[in-house]
Amino acid sequence: MTILLRNTLVSYKEQIAKEALPAHIAIIMDGNGRWAKHRGLDRLVGHHRGVQSVRSVTEAATELGIRYLTLYTFSTENWNRPQNEIDGLMELLVDSIEKETPTFQRNNIRFDVIGDIARMPVLTAQKLRKCISDTGGNTGLTLILALSYSSRWEIVQAAKRIVDRALSSEEIDEQVFASFLETERFPDPDLLIRTSGEVRVSNFLLWQIAYSELYFTDTLWPDFREAEFYKAIVSYQQRERRFGKTSEQL
């Protein structure tokens, strides 16, 4: 089995065209709770296992030369989950940030966050801001966590900022509106991946994925590792991105 998995990993990786990599990949990391439930374990065990997938995918993206990787980590709706799960997730987040910051520095990874960070626990927000500051000078992969984030929240916040700036309707176009979004400093995702077999985007980057390629897999997030990541990129590279044009115009 180990040999088979290794061969699959090498096979998909060898199919990737380095000259046609997606610049920005976004992932909806779904299935941690179900992974744990299937094994009779507490949901938090699934979240801990999911951290290993984050590490594997980040390492794979860094090695390939992907420029941006955005991970949907905690939505605004997730605040409605049981308090013990929220507390466990916040503790896991703080622990992971502290452990991974030295790795980010060694691998030239810049860390960033989108979302309502002011809503996070004080210690969590402090650790996030410190990691952002410590890695701000790195020039390799930018790893972005979407925390306390939802796209509808983001769009409403953008509208409020525009009102605060008292912009006239004549001053507002797509480019101006996008500059008020959480993601104004990043390019739109080329590829959106969702794990666990769910086929929806769950209030994630609704504006930004207007022309993204979508990839859905039945694999639960704790089982999503390098081979699955490479497979998604191969699928992306087999598609024709027309952006409203015909094939003949490309």
Distance of CA 231 to the CA centre of its chain: 17
76: how many CB neighbours lie within 10 A of its CB? 18
Q: Cα separations (Å) of 111 from 75, 122, 176, 205, 247?
A: 18, 19, 25, 18, 37
Instruction: Choose, from 7, 32, 42, 78, the residue flagged as catalytic.
Output: 78
Question: How open is the CA angle 240-242-243, to the nearest 5 degrees?
Answer: 140
Hey, what are 114's tokens? 């989108």
Instruction: Choose, from 30, 32, 112, 190, the residue flagged as catalytic.
Output: 30
Residue 26 has, within 13 A of its CA and on its CB side, a CA count of: 25
Kindly state the greatest CA–CA separation across the chain: 62
DSSP state for residue 109 in the 8-state scheme:
P
Is 78 annotated as catalytic?
Answer: yes
DSSP state for residue 189 in the 8-state scheme:
P
Pairing of strands 24-28, 213-216: unpaired
Active site residues: 30, 78
